[in-house]
Structure 1
């Protein structure tokens, strides 16, 4: 699973007796100290990650820099369809990341969108 955000970083927290382990988007960097800042939803403001007793480490996230049309590609799963059979979904868009990755995003028959990284394979336009 990819994490996408605007800074390219996430903060990982181990959890405490009252909070679960979690990954939180790094929202900005403190200009004076260089410490990563995350939004504290309880206080409604940014806080340094080092203010949290369960802060573990920073991890890389992907920054989406473009989205291009799916171009007729399909994602295929051999056992995710009805009754455990095959499933193919249209690639709606490709999310292009700052590091040059491309993540296919599919749309199902109900109009729901999701990344297709778990697909068993990608089928190019014109391929059966």
Structure 2
């Protein structure tokens, strides 16, 4: 008899907890949408899904600024690429390569025949 009462209390308590959690979650979403956090989170999620590197990320990886000449960017790329080739970090080496590719598209501008 006591076990049955205890089981009923646990089930009722967990139901109350689930409803309270759902209500708190709804309120958090509502607050986030009012403050603009939801839009920023959505943009970050889209960026992560597409896995495209931004120009700012590429510059940060190579350690260059917008005023850095293309020749300096290439020197920096060569240095970092070779350094990571020696240390065996393929991940970092690929990040450096992707950063150079991204900045190369910015340096060359849009391809003929494309809008952008």
Class of the TM-score when normalised by the shorter of the 2 chains: under 0.3
More helix by share: 2
Q: TM-score, normalised by structure 1?
A: 0.22
More strand by share: 1
Which structure has more RCO (C-alpha within 8 Å, separation ≥ 6)? Answer: 2
Q: TM-score, normalised by structure 2?
A: 0.23
